[in-house]
Amino acid sequence: MEHLINPLVRDIQISGIRKISNLVSTIPGALTLTIGQPDFPTPRHIIEAGQRALDQNKTVYTQNPGLLELREAVSHFVKLKYGQTYRAADEIIVTAGASQAVDITLRTILTPGAEVIIPAPIYPGYEPLIRLAGGVPVYVDTRNNGLKLTADILEPYLTANTRCVILCYPSNPTGQVLTEKELADLAQLLEDRDLFILSDEIYSELVYGQSHHSITTIGKMREKTIVINGLSKSHAMTGWRIGFTLAPAYLTEHMIKVHQYNVTCASSVSQYAALEALTVGVDDALPMRSAYEARRDYVYDRLVAMGIDLEKPDGAFYLFPSIAKFGLSSMDFTMKLLQEEHVAVVPGDAFTSYGEGFIRISYAYSQEVLEQSLDRLARFVGKLK
């Protein structure tokens, strides 16, 4: 009966990130630098807020777009942190994580054959959602552009069929961040075109040595941009599954329809925990960010000392070094490293074919794990030279 399955679903591949991370569990003593998940626990006061919600039996449906007080907290948070202005009543939706936020956005704005421009290498979660919504992914190669999507390399890809441009900065897998000037140039190129921007800003609280900037604060871009954000990375709340969309009312009105029939509402208990995170815990990300920055510097310096080529990232918790000089494909390099030194990284081709020749290293791990893993990586690289 498999021939009756929707071919758009049948053709989707399981994430290469998960394939490698699952393989690690079969190798005794293996260390992993694969998953983009904070190694910090959810702050205790947030957990207690969730427990209070359970004790008070706050376990019923909320409004489809989420608790109004939580949407008000989201509105205040993004205004305070990034200068973004969105009304709680009709411009914010609380979602079941940022992934669901991306899904309802694409289902709302795409029609069959509509093109979506994506910088590559890129997190593999966008393409399947684009295709399931009937869209056509169009990749822009950023490898010779500092791993950034800038106006000059984007412009040739814009066509009459372009419906959306995805900006995902800070970036997974590269950690790169767009500057104010780069965003301004993109805004100048895009603001008078009939297309949408999906700005995935899930790593907005993890930017180092500078502030996070959003294209929504430039010119007329707010009216054509859907911002995706959430608490998984900023507050170490991956399993709580709380994300949100911020978009003009005319877009949010239609996105709520998809959200309503998709999940009804985000978990009520998680929403009360999120309310605590965005009020009492408004600065919870700061100590985690400091720790990540120190880890980034440590891992970057170690890789440079090994003679590995890479761009120094300014955000998220990933490095994306080139392994092209070693003459192995990214998958062969990854498998040999795992087999010989029991260290797992993610092959670059998990982030589309444009990631071939790279590996992704997550430094969202303890200093002890990073030190041991990099010692093993250095030994492995030494054997390849």
Residue 254 pLDDT? 98
| Concatenated DSSP letters of 265-308 | S--HHHHHHHHHHHHTTTTTHHHHHHHHHHHHHHHHHHHHHTT-
Q: CB–CB of 253/221 below 8 Å?
A: no
Cβ atoms of 349 and 356 closer than 8 Å: yes
Query: Which of 94, 64, 100 shows the shortest CA–CA distance to 77?
Result: 94
Cβ(344)–Cβ(361) below 8 Å? no
Residue 304 sits in a domain of what CATH number?
3.90.1150.10
User: Which pLDDT belongs to residue 16?
Assistant: 66
321-331 pLDDT per residue, tens: 999 999 999 99
pLDDT at 205: 98
Residues 11, 93: one domain?
no
Per residue in 256-310, pLDDT tens? Answer: 999 999 999 999 999 999 999 999 999 999 999 999 999 999 999 999 999 999 9
List the one residue out of 117, 183, 200 whose CA is nearest residue 156. Answer: 117
Q: What is the mean pLDDT of residues 100-113?
A: 98
Q: State yes or no: pLDDT of 18 exceeds 90.
A: no
- Chain mean pLDDT for the chain: 96
Residues 79 and 25 in one domain: no
User: Any idea what DSSP says for residue 312?
Assistant: P
pLDDT of res. 26: 81
Residues 150 and 255 in one domain: yes
CATH code of 151's domain: 3.40.640.10
pTM of the model: 0.95
Residues 269, 301 within the same domain: no
* pLDDT-based confidence at residue 212 (cuts at 50, 70, 90): very high
**One-letter amino acid of 366:** S
Q: How open is the CA angle 176-177-182, to the nearest 5 degrees?
A: 125
Domain range for 205 is: 49-279
pLDDT at 385: 75
* Residues 296 and 258 reside in one and the same domain: no
| Number of domains, the chain | 2
The residue out of 237, 252, 279 marking a domain boundary is 279
Counting every residue, how long is the chain? 385
Tokens representing residue 221 in the block: 């871009």
pLDDT band at 23 (very low <50, low <70, confident <90, very high): confident
Nearest to 310 by CA among 366, 382, 370, 360: 360
Tens digit of pLDDT for each residue in 334-377? 999 999 999 999 999 999 999 999 999 999 999 999 999 999 99
- The pLDDT of residue 239 is 97
pLDDT classification of 81: cutoffs 50, 70, 90: very high
Least reliable range by pLDDT among 34-38, 72-76, 87-91, 299-303 = 34-38
Percent of all residues in the chain with a pLDDT value above 70, rounded to a whole number: 99
279, 314, 345: which is the final residue of a domain? 279
Q: How far is CA 310 from the centre of its chain?
A: 20
Task: Reduce the DSSP state of residue 234 to 3 states and report it.
Answer: coil
Same domain, 236 and 374: no
